[in-house]
Amino acid sequence: MPKVTFLPANKSIEALPGSSLLEAAGAAGVKAETPCGGTGLCRKCLVRVKSGKAVPGGTLPEKLANEGYILLCRAKLGEEPLEILIPESTEKGKFTKAAEDLLLVDESLLPKSLSPLVQKTEISVSAPAPMDGLSDYDRLEKAFSPIGEMKLPLGVIKKLPETLREKNGNVSVVYSDEDKSITRITSEDSKYYGIAVDLGTTTVAVLLVDLETGEIIDSGTEYNAQISCGLDVISRINYARTPHRLEELRDKALSTINNITKKLAESSGIDINGICCASVAGNTVMTHLLLGIIPEYIRLDPYTPAVYSLPPVKAKETGLLINPESPVYIAPSVGSYMGGDITSGLLCTPLAADPEELNLFMDIGTNGEIVLGNKDFLIGCACSAGPAFEGGGIQKGMRASAGAIESVIVGDDGNIAELSVIGGGKPAGICGSGIISLIAELLRKGYLDPAGKLIRDKNCPYVKTEGRSASYYITDDVYITEADIENLIRAKAAVFSACRVLLSKVELDFGDLSKMYIAGGFGRYLNIKDARTIGLIPYLPDDRFVFLGNSSASGAYMTLISKEHRNRESDIAGKMTYMDLSIVPEYFDEYVSAMFLPHTDLKLFLK
Amino acid sequence: MPKVTFLPANKSIEALPGSSLLEAAGAAGVKAETPCGGTGLCRKCLVRVKSGKAVPGGTLPEKLANEGYILLCRAKLGEEPLEILIPESTEKGKFTKAAEDLLLVDESLLPKSLSPLVQKTEISVSAPAPMDGLSDYDRLEKAFSPIGEMKLPLGVIKKLPETLREKNGNVSVVYSDEDKSITRITSEDSKYYGIAVDLGTTTVAVLLVDLETGEIIDSGTEYNAQISCGLDVISRINYARTPHRLEELRDKALSTINNITKKLAESSGIDINGICCASVAGNTVMTHLLLGIIPEYIRLDPYTPAVYSLPPVKAKETGLLINPESPVYIAPSVGSYMGGDITSGLLCTPLAADPEELNLFMDIGTNGEIVLGNKDFLIGCACSAGPAFEGGGIQKGMRASAGAIESVIVGDDGNIAELSVIGGGKPAGICGSGIISLIAELLRKGYLDPAGKLIRDKNCPYVKTEGRSASYYITDDVYITEADIENLIRAKAAVFSACRVLLSKVELDFGDLSKMYIAGGFGRYLNIKDARTIGLIPYLPDDRFVFLGNSSASGAYMTLISKEHRNRESDIAGKMTYMDLSIVPEYFDEYVSAMFLPHTDLKLFLK
């Protein structure tokens, strides 16, 4: 029997040719996430063949397949021994690198060629000559003139005399393709970089990109330091009501981005001044706070933000710690609660490429944003799901980090038959996907009714009542209350009914959807079956669901390196109609119908 | 006899109608400067009639005459009592306000209409409306669109939401006429201001200007704090050779300008953020240092500066403490030693208005710059006069401040018959005009020979010899040595021979000059007779000399408020040919000829 070895853990097992590699991994004691249930959809179990040949399965972009990537859940052992490298993130669980989410995007939507926010060119500036009346500035201008009319900021002029004389006027010039403003001049032909930033309310992701190749060198994630000033955008707006506190929030967003960037630059051995542009995607409130713009009127009727779409600003104006003259592209917003994270995320879907077919995009987090459309129209809305999907407002809830229960199987006698804890070990709490998994299992096994009440008359020892309320105990310490379940029901009802209202606005239904794209940190780890059981998503064939992970970061990467994608994003923002659900009367009726598990209209969830 | 009262000193005297008011002032014990010798040329004795009527004399711009100004040296007492207000600066002596130097400029050269670097307009922005898809930015853009395509910097966007809502969208917008970038938006119709700055190597002058009227509200002067890092531009360049010290120099220039500006704003009760633009004139090295640009290559062959002409930069980029979004206009330079102070100064002469006649402009200071031309050509050169004109390099030399001897009359027996000390009291030293006065007197009275040697065989008790050198004692403590005299001869020779070389280049001579414009802090207080005696200026009828004082500051004022003058300055810079004297062989011969008092060619100084 051929042997398969899993690296870097270096655990081996022998198995029959044709065996499932996922099963082999499990037998070898190597953990791999398969949130989509091993259907090959979420691509979370992507691994790389180091030596030998596996029998591939599922579909992967050609480029990835050529590089030796396979889906652990779909690939099979061949005749020969195999060495498989499991990426750290795949093994660790929930915290994948933002960069890897790009693998979830259909290849046809990715940039075909490089046209980053800044370009680089080598030019030769003539030597200073006596009495020719030409300053260093004048001679540079002359040498640059075939490209266009240069704009040279003071910050670059300051060192120009030295730079021009270091290598006899041979210099490397980084400039904005848009307005020909020069970002950097060096006498060394140094590499140049950009960063793509997803500024999330909760988590901030930064991708460090080599602009010569478009390659993502590294990426990093940290919690947004603004969390200490409020968990959601409304509480941040409230916090920002004095200039001092607005400045504090600005500073916290900045320092989060800057910290990640510094670490990435250091670990990659890159001069931070060589980072010459940035693309930032964030919701409308995050964008305002990053730029220090008063966000107050976003939360007040008629909910008008200061700005939707800005021309690129300079890094030095924003406080980003990259080259100070770098253009910073900010993804355009569409509404007070339909931000640049969504226009950016849409770039990961065919909606950015004017498809014939109807598609729906949903970004699930504390806020849920939903966009529906095809080549003819684009309509979007936002709803407040609350923090339940992220473990917030749940008694034993926690974020999807080490110690969190992320999935369960309930046995026939109501006990916990199987338990998956992030990072292994003793469970400390339960995260969003764990709650969904538990609720779905309790429903399926008959310990929960459609109204979200635990069944008391089964005498299940894990269902404990206290007064009029009951709780289900997973372990002695970790439990879920009926109030927790209700919070989750509210969250899923908000999202599901928003989808329904959007569809009904265009007189269509779920069945008309070609694809349903699910994004958000949470989105990537959603178990389709569980989500359908609780009524978060309708019944549709599995292959209609596409998980995108952090599509906002992926979109920011695309706008960083591709002018076509910046134009697409601008088109999306211009095309989209924003529907304010608070003034749509049907929304409340839909919401009430969705307050059941799965719904009052059961046929939506049946084949 | 009618009484004349001098205010604010409130000193009175009775005199006959037709009496000289200058003499009346002297008799009343009121001091007034008349450096031009009471010829009405320098306008230094300009005073204002508060009540009564004087008989005017000399020529004054109509506007000034209508406002009651008279020249004390030329006006006469009439039949009725008179009250005359003597400006503080006239009484104090050397330190006139930069603003008053504008009075020396021919009215025809001053701006006829206002077109400052920034404009102000009132606009009405529509109210935020639900679901119209327009952010605050979008609605402002719409309201501004009749003026042009606005550029709204982040600094202004930050507070836009509040500003728009304070007065229902009625706002006052200050913007650059050039590129429509917005400097300031307020809901109050607040006034707006600008500053004109003369950044001199030694002295910095700032004029605070009301941009609605063009009126100079106040002006102030301070020594350039860079003096502690070197007295002349070459020593400053040397000092700036490390980035840290370059930054130090930048900071010192900035803090000097900012200090004056703050004081002016405070004493005028003006919000410093209401200062929305600046025009700065300085020599090439000063401009580099203010902007933090490496100046090193200005002093190294082939003497190429980093930049001659810059598009306006923003105040926040320069560090100027006015409204951070203000455009800062920098007067263009022409050569390494022909800076924006000269292009700016030329605006005070007909050379900026393409005259038929030949004119010569000279700005005398540590560096002397000379420009010659008419409508067909403009040629300029610079020479190093050294610090002697400012009392530097002279044993008992000092600046023209309190305690400095500024003029003398030598008696027939070689004693000091009359002595004028700035601020009165005991002399502490001698300033540039004092040295010129003393040398001229000693020459005239026969105690000095044309080679600059004191005559020893007259047994004058004030001429004391020590070894091979002799000195002339004005008082027991203040004297002038033959080495001092030689320094002054070198200085005047440098300037005079530069003028000769320029003229000879175009095959002309002094007699062909329509006017000779003399500028520089020193220039205003030059006594024509003395200057001619020592050979600093040639013989020409008195009315061919025009004193301009600080023409750099006056020019900066004009470019601040007039687009026409900005264009003129740009034209001047483009038109001027810069001649490097160090590579002109005749210069040395001319210089040697000028090393006599007055010159080897005596006929240049005779009628």
Residues of B in contact with A129 (CB under 8 A): 302, 304
Burial B107-122 (b: 16+ CB within 10 A, else e): eebbbeeeebbbbbee
Alpha carbons A604 and A108: distance in angstroms, whole number: 31
> Strand, coil or helix: what is A35?
coil
Reply yes or no on whether the pLDDT at B233 is more than 60.
Answer: yes
Closest chain B C-alpha to A539 CA, distance in angstroms: 33
The answer to whether the CB of A534 falls within 8 A of the CB of A443 is yes
The answer to whether the CB of B275 falls within 8 A of the CB of B189 is no
Residues near B132 by beta carbon (within 8 Å), at least 6 away in sequence: none
Alpha carbons B72 and B62: distance in angstroms, whole number: 17
pLDDT tier for residue B506 given thresholds of 50, 70 and 90: very high
Query: A157 and B306: CB-CB below 8 Å?
Result: yes
Provide the CA A380 distance to its chain's centre, in angstroms. Answer: 18
Q: Structure tokens of A354?
A: 């004017």
Q: Structure tokens of B20?
A: 């000289």
Q: Structure tokens of A520?
A: 């958000």
- In DSSP terms, A364 is beta-bridged to A368
Residues of B in contact with A251 (CB under 8 A): none
The answer to whether the CB of B274 falls within 8 A of the CB of A105 is no
Alpha carbons B204 and A369: distance in angstroms, whole number: 59
Q: Looking up tokens 């990961």, which residue turns up?
A: A348
Reply yes or no on whether the pLDDT at B593 is more than 70.
Answer: yes
Predicted TM-score (pTM) of the model is 0.84
Chains A, B: CB pairs < 8 Å:
134
> Strand, coil or helix: what is A441?
helix
Q: Structure tokens of B162?
A: 């509040």
Query: Is the previous residue joined to A598 through a cis bond, with omega within 30 degrees of 0?
Result: yes
How many helices, marked H, and strands, marked E, lie in chain B? 17, 28
Query: A292 and B317: CB-CB below 8 Å?
Result: no
CA torsion sign for B390, B393, B399, B403 is negative
In angstroms, what is the C-alpha Rg of chain B?
26
N residues, chain A = 607
SS (H, E, C) B172-206: EEEEECCCCEEEEEECCCCCCEEEEEEECCCEEEE
The answer to whether the CB of B484 falls within 8 A of the CB of B494 is no
Query: Is the previous residue joined to A332 through a cis bond, with omega within 30 degrees of 0?
Result: no
Q: Are strands A327-330 and A275-282 parallel, antiparallel or unpaired?
A: parallel
Question: What one-letter code names the amino acid at B424?
Answer: G
Closest chain A C-alpha to B126 CA, distance in angstroms: 12
Which phi and psi angles does A424 have, rounded to 5°? Answer: 75, -175
Q: What are B41-44's contacts with CB under 8 Å, separation 24+? A: B41/B528, B41/B542, B41/B543, B41/B545, B41/B546, B41/B547, B42/B104, B42/B524, B42/B525, B42/B547, B43/B71, B43/B103, B43/B104, B43/B547, B44/B90, B44/B96, B44/B524, B44/B525
Most B CBs within 10 Å: which of A154, A241, A290, as the mutation test of the B interface? A154
Question: What one-letter code names the amino acid at A164?
Answer: L
| Largest CA-CA distance found in chain A, in angstroms, rounded | 101
Alpha carbons A412 and A446: distance in angstroms, whole number: 9
Residue A95 has a pLDDT of 42
Query: Is the previous residue joined to B87 through a cis bond, with omega within 30 degrees of 0?
Result: no
Report the interhelical angle of A585-593 vs A482-505 (nearest 10°).
130
pLDDT digits (tens, 9 = 90+) for B261-285: 999 999 999 999 999 999 999 999 9
Which phi and psi angles does A365 have, rounded to 5°? Answer: -160, -150
Reply yes or no on whether the pLDDT at B532 is more than 80.
Answer: yes
- In DSSP terms, B466 is beta-bridged to B469
Residues near A113 by beta carbon (within 8 Å), at least 6 away in sequence: A562
ipTM score of the complex? 0.84
> Strand, coil or helix: what is B542?
helix
Reply yes or no on whether the pLDDT at B481 is more than 80.
Answer: yes
Neighbours of A121 (CB within 10 A): 12
Query: A297 and B161: CB-CB below 8 Å?
Result: yes
Report the residue from B128, B297, B334 with minimal CB separation from A297. Answer: B128
Alpha carbons A50 and A69: distance in angstroms, whole number: 9
* Of B327, B363, B100, residue with least CA distance to B207: B100
Burial A546-585 (b: 16+ CB within 10 A, else e): bbbbbbbbbbbbbbbbbbebbebbeebbebbbbbbbeebe
Residue A523 has a pLDDT of 53
Chain A nearest-CA residue for B297: A161
Residue A93 has a pLDDT of 38
Report the residue from B157, B301, B309 with minimal CB separation from A293. Answer: B157
Report the residue from A136, A292, A301 with minimal CB separation from B307. Answer: A136
Alpha carbons B378 and B177: distance in angstroms, whole number: 30
Report the residue from A160, A311, A335 with minimal CB separation from B306. Answer: A160
The answer to whether the CB of A419 falls within 8 A of the CB of A445 is no
Neighbours of B459 (CB within 10 A): 8
Query: B131 and A302: CB-CB below 8 Å?
Result: yes
Query: B162 and A294: CB-CB below 8 Å?
Result: yes
Alpha carbons B272 and B295: distance in angstroms, whole number: 30
Question: What one-letter code names the amino acid at A458?
Answer: K
Q: Looking up tokens 């450096």, which residue turns up?
A: B35
∠ CA A501-A504-A510, rounded to 5°: 90
Query: A135 and B308: CB-CB below 8 Å?
Result: yes
CA torsion sign for B420, B425, B426, B428 is negative
Residue A174 has a pLDDT of 97
Query: Is the previous residue joined to B598 through a cis bond, with omega within 30 degrees of 0?
Result: yes
Query: A297 and B580: CB-CB below 8 Å?
Result: no
* Of B371, B314, B312, B313, residue with least CA distance to B339: B371
Q: Is A335 left (phi over 0), alpha (psi -120 to 50) or beta?
A: beta
Alpha carbons B305 and A134: distance in angstroms, whole number: 8
Query: B292 and A136: CB-CB below 8 Å?
Result: no
The answer to whether the CB of B76 falls within 8 A of the CB of B54 is yes
pLDDT tier for residue B1 given thresholds of 50, 70 and 90: confident
Q: Are strands B515-519 and B359-363 parallel, antiparallel or unpaired?
A: parallel
pLDDT tier for residue B131 given thresholds of 50, 70 and 90: confident
Give every strand in the sheet of B203-210, ordered side by side.
B216-223, B203-210, B193-199, B275-282, B327-330, B313-314
Question: What one-letter code names the amino acid at A297?
Answer: Y
Reply yes or no on whether the pLDDT at B89 is more than 90.
Answer: no
Closest chain B C-alpha to A294 CA, distance in angstroms: 6
Chain B nearest-CA residue for A575: B133
Residues near B468 by beta carbon (within 8 Å), at least 6 away in sequence: none
Query: A157 and B301: CB-CB below 8 Å?
Result: no
∠ CA B29-B31-B32, rounded to 5°: 140
Alpha carbons A173 and A181: distance in angstroms, whole number: 10
Chain A nearest-CA residue for B161: A306
Q: Once rounded to an integer, what is the mean pLDDT over residues B39-65?
A: 80
Closest chain A C-alpha to B289 CA, distance in angstroms: 10
Residue A442 has a pLDDT of 96
Query: B294 and A134: CB-CB below 8 Å?
Result: no
Alpha carbons B572 and B574: distance in angstroms, whole number: 5
Which phi and psi angles does B81 have, rounded to 5°? Answer: -60, 155
If you ran DSSP here, which 8-state letter would residue A236 be given? Answer: H
Alpha carbons B82 and A573: distance in angstroms, whole number: 75
pLDDT digits (tens, 9 = 90+) for B296-308: 999 999 999 999 9
pLDDT digits (tens, 9 = 90+) for B2-48: 999 988 888 899 998 988 898 888 888 887 766 566 767 667 688 88
Q: Which residues of chain A have pLDDT under 50?
A: 89-95
End-to-end CA separation in angstroms for chain B: 41
Alpha carbons A476 and A41: distance in angstroms, whole number: 35
Give CA separation, B449 vs B411, B441, B487, B598, B599, in Å. Answer: 17, 12, 15, 10, 12
Residues of B in contact with A307 (CB under 8 A): 135-138, 157, 160
Q: Of all helices (H) and strands (E), which one includes residue B383?
A: strand B378-384
Q: Structure tokens of A422?
A: 């992030």
- In DSSP terms, A218 is beta-bridged to A208
Residue A94 has a pLDDT of 39
